[in-house]
Structure 1
Amino acid sequence: MAGYLGNRSEMVVHHLAVMKEECNIYGVKKGDRHYFVPDMLDQAKREGFTPCKHCIQN
């Protein structure tokens, strides 16, 4: 299982191991899902994604 999932329509990245109901992961359309290589938060940030305020503590 991937550790992070990006939502391209909102440019938000979620941490799948600690996701919350407020993240609405299941509402992300298949075409908007983005996985990162390497699967790391730093990579998501380099690609312009903002960490989710519900599942990623800064």
Structure 2
Amino acid sequence: MAVTTRCDGSIAVHAKKALELGVTKEEIIEALGIAIALNAGAAPTYSARVFDAIESLPAE
């Protein structure tokens, strides 16, 4: 949902939480595909920000 509402703060928080819960990149890509299908507008652009948020997290 954060992708469709274009909320960078929420994208970062939800991306971090998804990884903490063990969500795989493949599952994130699938969810982003659904977000894009539901709200084609800016969703593709903001989908890239999910991976930017993931890459900015410290390695564990």
CA radius of gyration, larger in: 2
Provide the TM-score with structure 2 as the length reference: 0.23
User: TM-score with structure 1 length normalisation?
Assistant: 0.23
Q: If each structure's strand is expressed as a fraction of its own residues, which one has the higher value?
A: 1
